[in-house]
Amino acid sequence: MTDFFKDIAPIQFEGADSTNPMAFHHYNPEEVVMGKRMEDHLRFAIAYWHSFAWEGGDPFGGQTFERPWHPQTRMDMAKVKADAAFEMFDILGQPYFCWHDADVRPEGDSFAESLKNFEEIIDYFEEKMSTRKIKLLWGTANMFSHRRWMSGASTNPDPEVFAYSAATVKTCMDATKRLGGENYVLWGGREGYETLLNTDMGRELDHMGRFLNMVVDYKHKIGFEGTILVEPKPQEPSKHQYDFDAATCYGFLQKYGLENEVKLNLEQGHAILAGHSFEHEIATAAALGVLGSIDMNRNDYQSGWDTDQFPNNVPEVALSYYHILKAGGFTTGGTNFDAKLRRQSLDAEDLIAAHVGGMDICARGLKAAAAMIEDGGLEQALNERYAGWESDEAKAMLAGDLDSTFADVMSGKINPAPKSGRQEILENYVNRFV
């Protein structure tokens, strides 16, 4: 045991009337919502990188956190970090966690040494997981932080970097399967360009498509039953990343024959950077059949970069879960808190409280979303708005051609009158639940 979380008791559900900041007020894992336990709906996960690997820096300043496992360059410190992580998992009681390889092991002087360190810490994880209910939602490879990735990983102009990337992903997929991970994520942090003056975009996209096909082939080769996920992000650090948003990713998957093999891990902060709302990205992925999992956080609307703050806006969260529930809910995916403390929030208690608040916000959002679905008001409004398409005439038009439609309009039978979209009424409706 470490002393980092000393005197912080396991978090309990105390209900909405409680004033205890270190208790759940809305998240009750056993509460049944739409016929399913709340824990099974939300499938919470803690992000190892932001909670334990991040040191409190920002684009204008360095480390502010001083943790017992710093510096993170030695195996003994990696194990202290793991000890603290699993102590936090015990305190919060969430069912899952997630990691990048570089979060959990120190970088070695060679690929072989880094792999040795990685396998040692995976052994350590496996031992700790054997005595707990905690599971792995997904693993992934960090192919953006080290200087070798400065020009991308699978899209790098140097074929040796492509090879290093492939070997790195193989080791992370092996570890994910070994720990019973339910998904494997690829986030192309530097799969994009800073200037087209030195970029062959077509070649890079082809290499990225081939790389992802290699990943899918390896998934089947080793019998990994989880879902392969890619994570959209429009910019930062690259000027333009190839996985800009959900629609862009779907087009990419279609081009390279992967739309039936790969789904999306969507992040609220990335949606904002793309100029979208989170519910837009979720609804887009659901409509295209590629909704997989979510990273739950938020961005500062006044900042132009990815601030990764814990969620605190119930209406936004409720609409996000509304579209997730409409799509049938999560299967292998879940709600990963890809969120980090503010760099002034130095204490262990801050880290626990941030997750408690985030879990409560998601629970409130989920219950509001479920109530809206059970009430049926939004669905009824949609049915009424599109009711004309259920007529025999409209169905015949869709099955017809331009000439027949032109003839119908010219006959005078068709003279459309605008109808209200009732946006304000529907916004008021949503506010009744949140």
The tens digit of pLDDT for each residue in 122-164 reads 999 999 999 999 999 999 999 999 999 999 999 999 999 999 9
User: Which one from 100, 207, 280, 323 is the annotated catalytic residue?
Assistant: 100
**What six digits make up the tokens of 114?**
């880094």
The whole-number pLDDT of residue 34 equals 97
pLDDT tens-digit map of 328-378: 999 999 999 999 999 999 999 999 999 999 999 999 999 999 999 999 999
Burial class (CB in 10 A: 0-12, 13-18, 19+), 76: exposed
What pLDDT shows up at residue 99? 98
pLDDT value, residue 121? 98
pLDDT band at 108 (very low <50, low <70, confident <90, very high): very high
**Average confidence (pLDDT) over 191-213:** 97
- Render pLDDT for 121-131 as a digit per residue (tens, 0 to 9): 999 999 999 99
Catalytic residue check, 146: no
Residue 38 has pLDDT above 80, yes or no: yes
Distance between CA atoms of residues 201 and 365, nearest Å: 40
Tell me the mean pLDDT in the region 234-257.
95
Here the tokens at position 59 are 């684009």
Return the pLDDT at 17. 96
Exposure letters 354-386 (e unless 16+ CB within 10 A, then b):
bbbbbbbbbbbbbbbbbbbbeeebbeeeeeeee
Strands 192-193 and 135-140: unpaired
Which member of 101, 103, 295, 308 is catalytic?
Answer: 103
237 prior amide bond cis, ω within 30: yes
Phi-psi label, residue 185: left if phi above 0, alpha if psi -120 to 50, beta otherwise: beta
95: which 2 tokens? 């069912």
Report pLDDT for 58.
86
**Mean predicted confidence (pLDDT) in 268-290:** 97
Distances in Å between the Cα of 156 and the Cα atoms of 24, 193, 243, 264, 362 are 46, 10, 15, 23, 38
Q: Which tokens in the block code for residue 285?
A: 């992925």
Percent above pLDDT 70 for the chain = 100
| C-alpha to C-alpha distances, 306 to 195, 303, 340, nearest whole angstrom | 21, 8, 11
Is the pLDDT assigned to residue 190 strictly greater than 90? yes
Output the pLDDT for position 76: 94
Rg of the chain over CA atoms, in angstroms? 24
Please tell me the predicted confidence (pLDDT) of residue 365.
Answer: 98
Cis peptide before 68 (omega within 30 of 0): no
pLDDT at 2 over 90: no
Q: What mean pLDDT do residues 289-304 have?
A: 92
Band (pLDDT 50/70/90 cuts) for residue 305 is confident
Active-site residue 100, yes or no?
yes
In this predicted structure, what is the pLDDT of residue 71?
87
For 320, residues 6+ apart whose C-beta sits below 8 A from its C-beta are: 268, 278, 279, 282, 294, 365, 369
Mean residue pLDDT of the chain comes to 96
Return d(Cα 256, Cα 298) in angstroms, integer. Answer: 31
Is a pLDDT exceeding 80 seen at residue 304?
Answer: no
Evaluate if residue 245 carries a pLDDT over 90. yes
